[in-house]
Chains A and B, each alone.
Chain A
Amino acid sequence: MDMTLNAFTLYILTGLQLGSIFVLIALGLTLIFGTLGVVNFAHGALYLIAIYLAVSINNALGFGLALILVPPILFIFGVLMERGLIQRFYDRPHTDQILVTFGLAIVLQELLKWVFGANNIPFAIPSWGNGIIMLHDYLPFLEGFVVYPKWRLILVVVSIITVAAVFALLHLTRFGLVIRAGMRDAEMMQFLGVNINRRFMIVFGLGSMIAGIAGVFGGPVTQVSPEVGMHLLVPSFLVVVIGGMGSLGGAVLAGILIGMAQSFTAPYINLNTVIIYLITVIVLLVRPRGLLGAKGVFE
């Protein structure tokens, strides 16, 4: 393959940008799965709520307010969803959990379609994020004139900050310690007198909030229409599977891997459409627990 350094850099950036959205959605999914053992088919719908809220607030009141309001609203929504619905399903079979979240996904998607219509709503990027970045000014090894949309780079940065924040929360705080212990053995935590139910609720809110952040910054890139949620859900599920169910590091690694794979196969349309599935099948055959999955977890 004959590729210049310029093209290579652009492919890498596009891969990172595509991966960023997958990582953000998959991070919430895997956090919820790892802690609560629930596969949330409605996670795409949470992203959908986030982009519709973000676009409405952005177009009416400005981006700043969207950024301040959407993630907390999604957090509250996640908490309510866990208390009102998911909580009833902890003791039911896994398939029931899939079914009820699938039903919720349909209901939410149709509600949003009813309110906002089926067409794409334009998401105006704030002026400070508009335009392009002259990459050749910053990266001396590039030849000539190389540019990249600014907003997509911002998305990558936001994604890195979010991932760092989640890892810091889980690994540097006492709350994170309890959550990680709960991911290992929730029953034992209860015997030790920890109110694990309240933590579950917060974790669900957190996963939902990450979808909120993804929505605020990803909305302009992924478009704002009712199909977006389900479109993103399938690859995000695969990211979780490839990375290893319940593994946060795995989700990040697999998200970037999938993003890169999509970016680098872009010139070959036939390969591009199936590359995600090919990678999934190969990983499944070679390493069934996923790249960074813990031994014995859904192996």
Chain B
Amino acid sequence: MNNQLSFWQLNKAVILFAVVALTMPLWFPLINGYSGLDTKIMIFCIFLVGFDILLGFTGYLSFGHAAFFGIAAYSTGLMLKNFSDNIVPAIIVAVAVATLAAIVIGLLTLKRTGIYFSILTLAFAEMFHSMAMAMLQTWTGGENGLTGMPTPMLFDLKMQGNNVFYFTAIMAILLFYVAKRIERSPVGLMMKAIKCNQTRLEYTGINARKYKLLAFVISAMYAAVAGALMVVYEPFVGHEFLGWHQSGEVVIMSVIGGVGTLVGPMLGAGFMLYFENVLSVDLGEQWLLVLGLIFMFVVIFMPGGFMEALERIKRRFFTTVDGE
């Protein structure tokens, strides 16, 4: 194989994603997707790409990433309400606050692996959730949520309708590109080595904790950007943003799509939000039950998610005898 990969080979996925994302307002209504849902899908693509840097690369399953999503959402909301209706300072502050929280939580939870890590991240997220409900009620609005934000502005541009969509889509494309760069970088390789065999990596003299924390914080920053954009998209913050439902939803999207592929989790996000908001009309109250069954089916029979399914189809129909 040629060592010099062309621009197209390196950036194929990003370019394809950019084309699909930017043309979404054209084709999405054709499959009954309503305007606004496309923005939400873009927001969750950001969340999920970041989540895959942690789960897909290092193998650490966090059940508490809603914490960073929610913290950033509340920070954005409070900034818009009390400081300025410009979203730029709001997003920067939100990401900074969430990053700080991620460093502290990461230092504490990454002392543990596997199951322990999952339970502890879940516990921390639940802690923030109950704090938002009680202790910080005057700031967060408790049960009612944070409301009363002005219309968010990008300097002089009103963030409404298509403006929000294109802003989030461009953010999503940029952040997907960054994630792809991380994947190809030596740092990304270290992260993947942690998933393969952490002990062996440490024996070679590498400080695995540093890379684990880095992956954790980066994924939290992606979650924070998503949380902040969620408030730009819809000026409201509910306590559900911090709840375990939110964390669980992200895990489900990742797994259904295909952990560790970056593209897969975005497919998962698109599928799940489409399922939740469009197909659920036909299923009624039971949509979550059907989703749970699909999720279980994937975990049991197709651990690689949609990406594995695509790979299988490709192998079946499009390859010659000796493969690639």
With a cutoff of 8 Å between Cβ atoms, the chain A residues found around residue B289 in the complex are 106-107, 110-111, 114
Which A residues between 237 and 291 are near B, CB-CB below 8 angstroms?
237-238, 241, 245, 269-270, 272-274, 276-277, 280-281, 284-285, 288
With a cutoff of 8 Å between Cβ atoms, the chain A residues found around residue B296 in the complex are 100, 103-104, 107
B294 to chain A, nearest CB (A): 9
Q: Is B127 an interface residue (CB 8 A)?
A: yes
**Beta-carbon contact of A285 and B108 below 8 Å:** yes
Contact flags (1/0) for B104-148 with A, using CB distance below 8 Å?
000010011011101110111011001101110000000000000
CA distance A272 to B61 in the complex (A): 28
With a cutoff of 8 Å between Cβ atoms, the chain A residues found around residue B118 in the complex are 39, 95, 98
Given contacts A96-B299, A102-B251, contact A298 B115 (CB under 8 A): yes
Q: Is B35 an interface residue (CB 8 A)?
A: no
Given contacts A102-B248, A111-B289, A238-B123, contact A274 B299 (CB under 8 A): no
**Beta-carbon contact of A106 and B299 below 8 Å:** no
Q: Is A174 an interface residue (CB 8 A)?
A: no
Interface centre among B126, B131, B244 (most CB of A within 10 A): B126
Q: Is B295 an interface residue (CB 8 A)?
A: yes
Q: Is B255 an interface residue (CB 8 A)?
A: yes
Number of A-B contacts defined by CB within 8 Å: 105
User: Which of B119, B251, B295 is in CB contact (< 8 Å) with A237?
Assistant: B119
CA distance A151 to B8 in the complex (A): 71
Q: Is A230 an interface residue (CB 8 A)?
A: yes
**Beta-carbon contact of B135 and A106 below 8 Å:** no
B304 to chain A, nearest CB (A): 12
B291 to chain A, nearest CB (A): 8
CA distance A100 to B248 in the complex (A): 12
**Beta-carbon contact of B244 and A230 below 8 Å:** yes
Contact count band on A: 35 or more
With a cutoff of 8 Å between Cβ atoms, the chain A residues found around residue B248 in the complex are 102, 106
With a cutoff of 8 Å between Cβ atoms, the chain A residues found around residue B114 in the complex are 94-95, 298
**Beta-carbon contact of B135 and A234 below 8 Å:** no
Given contacts A114-B289, A245-B116, A298-B116, contact A273 B295 (CB under 8 A): no
**Beta-carbon contact of A237 and B288 below 8 Å:** no
Q: Is B293 an interface residue (CB 8 A)?
A: yes
With a cutoff of 8 Å between Cβ atoms, the chain B residues found around residue A277 in the complex are 123-124, 126-127, 130
User: Which of B63, B131, B299 is in CB contact (< 8 Å) with A273?
Assistant: B131
**Beta-carbon contact of A39 and B127 below 8 Å:** no
**Beta-carbon contact of B255 and A107 below 8 Å:** no
**Beta-carbon contact of B292 and A241 below 8 Å:** no
CA distance A237 to B293 in the complex (A): 24
**Beta-carbon contact of B116 and A234 below 8 Å:** no
Given contacts A88-B300, A103-B299, A273-B131, contact A94 B285 (CB under 8 A): no
A254 to chain B, nearest CB (A): 13
- The chain B residue with its CB closest to the CB of A110 is B289
**Beta-carbon contact of A281 and B244 below 8 Å:** no
B71 to chain A, nearest CB (A): 15
With a cutoff of 8 Å between Cβ atoms, the chain A residues found around residue B59 in the complex are 93, 95
Q: Is A99 an interface residue (CB 8 A)?
A: yes
Interface centre among A93, A95, A111, A113 (most CB of B within 10 A): A95
CA distance A241 to B122 in the complex (A): 12
Which B residues between 277 and 317 are near A, CB-CB below 8 angstroms?
285-286, 288-289, 291-293, 295-296, 299-300, 303
CA distance A104 to B292 in the complex (A): 7
A257 to chain B, nearest CB (A): 15
**Beta-carbon contact of A114 and B285 below 8 Å:** yes
CA distance A237 to B131 in the complex (A): 19
CA distance A110 to B283 in the complex (A): 13
CA distance A114 to B289 in the complex (A): 9
User: Which of B61, B116, B130, B252 is in CB contact (< 8 Å) with A274?
Assistant: B130
CA distance A98 to B112 in the complex (A): 16
**Beta-carbon contact of A106 and B288 below 8 Å:** yes
With a cutoff of 8 Å between Cβ atoms, the chain B residues found around residue A285 in the complex are 108
**Beta-carbon contact of A39 and B293 below 8 Å:** no
CA distance A180 to B253 in the complex (A): 39
User: Which of A104, A110, A272, A273 is in CB contact (< 8 Å) with B288?
Assistant: A110
With a cutoff of 8 Å between Cβ atoms, the chain A residues found around residue B292 in the complex are 103-104, 106-107, 110
**Beta-carbon contact of B108 and A99 below 8 Å:** no
With a cutoff of 8 Å between Cβ atoms, the chain A residues found around residue B108 in the complex are 281, 284-285
User: Which of A85, A100, A107, A272 is in CB contact (< 8 Å) with B293?
Assistant: A107
Contact flags (1/0) for A75-95 with B, using CB distance below 8 Å?
000000000010010001111
**Beta-carbon contact of A99 and B255 below 8 Å:** yes
Supply 13 A–B pairs (Cβ within 8 Å), ascending by A: A39-B118, A95-B114, A96-B299, A99-B295, A103-B299, A110-B286, A110-B288, A114-B286, A234-B126, A237-B119, A274-B135, A284-B111, A284-B120
Identify the A interface with B (CB < 8 A): 39, 85, 88, 92-96, 98-100, 102-104, 106-107, 110-111, 113-114, 230, 234, 237-238, 241, 245, 269-270, 272-274, 276-277, 280-281, 284-285, 288, 298
Which 6 A/B pairs are nearest by Cβ-Cβ distance? Answer: A106-B292, A110-B289, A277-B127, A103-B296, A107-B292, A273-B130
Contacts beyond the supplied A88-B300, A95-B59: 14 A-B pairs with Cβ under 8 Å:
A94-B115, A95-B61, A99-B251, A99-B299, A103-B252, A103-B295, A103-B296, A106-B292, A234-B122, A270-B135, A274-B135, A281-B108, A284-B112, A298-B114
